[in-house]
Amino acid sequence: MHPGGKDAIMVQTSCQDRVQAHALPEQRQGEKGLFFQQRQGFFAAAKYKERKLFMDEIKVVPYIPDEDYDNPAMVVDFYEFTMANCLFLHGFKNTTLVFDMFFRKNPDNMGYSISAGQRKLTRFLLNYHFNEQDIRWLRTKGMSEEFCEYLRTYKWKGDMYALPEGTVCYPHVQMVRIECDLVGAILIETYLLQTMNFHSLITTKATRVTGLNTHTPRSVMEFGTRRAQGESAGNDGAYAAVLGGCIGTANCLAEMKYGSEVKAVGTVAHSFIEFFPTEFDAFKAFADTYPDSVSLLLDTYNIMESGLPNLIKLDDYLIEKYPNDPNRRVKSARIDSGDLARGSKRLRKALDAAGKPYIKLVASNGLDERRSPTWSSMSTLILIPTAWAKISSPPLLTLCSAACINWWRSSCRMAPISPR
């Protein structure tokens, strides 16, 4: 008999539907019925008769997905769980493994790469854990009860050695070395590769776009979030781009996550200009709202015949309104279409002739590493990449014997980062 003294029927539909339970009257105690018990997301069905519960027909309902669930520790290729579970059961639980991460070729066949991603990887290892939802799912995938119970309280307790973030590196040079127990070494592989791969790729590309690898670096703002492969790529890409030399990003969440060093910047769009009766009205409205950071867009209608005259007129208006505050002037003007090289030269000449040499010019629209203007008339570039770059060959993880550890420690120059 059900502990509550009543038979119960559980009506189950699809995974998206809710489960409803209805208690039957007390007088039906002797009849056959179905009892569905909910326990931590699983449903067990037991057929019972005359106060005797028979467990021979238990039915486990599949794990119910949760689109809002997010635990980085579960960013794992499934075969890593199957391997770890099998090795765990066969006596390798306390075996120490050593993994090296390196790559075979530089991206795009260039001459160098920048090692990045260590900051995020370290935070991941410091907070590494599995929770009840993870354990429940692993049970449905055939993992052993001993392995699941071990993961329930598992904390990462290995050592990480890594090149300092932002270090120039080359093929076949270790970027990261992991020394850890079997579970901690195997299960972090996917996250480690994903993090180091992506951050290093974006940072390397950014150094070339900004010209940090030359004697004439450029001021570049990164506006690639809208074309990134998801929210995480947008946030991590903004951080990595600034690490590679960009002076700011359009991504607001990136500054909130990483601080003012990853500064959120931006101007206005063409649609903003079109909200107002005239272009000058739009310029004036923006300047009255943000007098300390006036940066405007000139090519909504016509750069030379409309945008430029209204820009000069607005700056004169600010001089008249704030005569004793030189900071309240037009800071910059952006062009987003046409021949950027020719247009910037004409604008620079016209602004200098009007006594406005302090107004900087910003170029945007389809710029990349090979199509970035180097003209002295251009102050800042806005980069909205369709694709930052592609890896010529994926990074590798190699397994070393413990006998190599002491030799490697004495010969490498990596900095130890221990989450213990």
Tell me, what amino acid is at 374? T
Instruction: Look at 68-82, 251-265, 299-313, 333-347 and tell me which has the smallest mean pLDDT.
Output: 333-347
Give the chain's domain count. 3
Compute φ and ψ for 32, nearest 5 degrees: -70, 150
For the segment 396-413, the average pLDDT, to the nearest whole number, is 36
Residue 1 lies in a domain: no
Residues 49 and 13 in one domain: yes
Residue 219 lies in a domain: yes
* Domain span holding position 405: 72-205+393-417
Strands (E), 182-260: 219-222, 248-249
For the segment 322-345, the average pLDDT, to the nearest whole number, is 89
Strands (E), 223-337: 248-249, 294-297, 330-335
pLDDT tens per residue across span 200-225: 999 999 998 888 888 888 888 888 88
Residue 253 lies in a domain: yes
Round to whole Å and give the CA distance between 79 and 144.
Answer: 15
Q: What pLDDT, on a 0 to 100 scale, did the predictor assign at position 380? A: 57
Residue 67 lies in a domain: no
How many other C-beta atoms are found inside a 10 Å radius of the C-beta of residue 414? 19
Residue 64 lies in a domain: no
Residues 200 and 287 in one domain: no
Residues 287 and 342 in one domain: yes
Round to whole Å and give the CA distance between 156 and 152.
Answer: 12
The token pair at 304 is 């030379």
pTM above 0.95, yes or no: no
Q: How many CA atoms lie within 13 A of 131 on its CB side?
A: 7
pLDDT at 262 over 60: yes
CATH assignment at residue 122: 3.20.140.10
The token pair at 220 is 């570049």
For the segment 144-155, the average pLDDT, to the nearest whole number, is 94
Round to whole Å and give the CA distance between 344 and 336.
Answer: 11
Residue 376 lies in a domain: yes
Q: What pLDDT, on a 0 to 100 scale, did the predictor assign at position 388? A: 40
Residues 224 and 151 in one domain: no
Residues 198 and 275 in one domain: no
Whether 264 and 248 have beta carbons less than 8 Å apart is answered as yes
Round to whole Å and give the CA distance between 278 and 357.
Answer: 25
Residues 231 and 366 in one domain: yes
Residue 65 lies in a domain: no
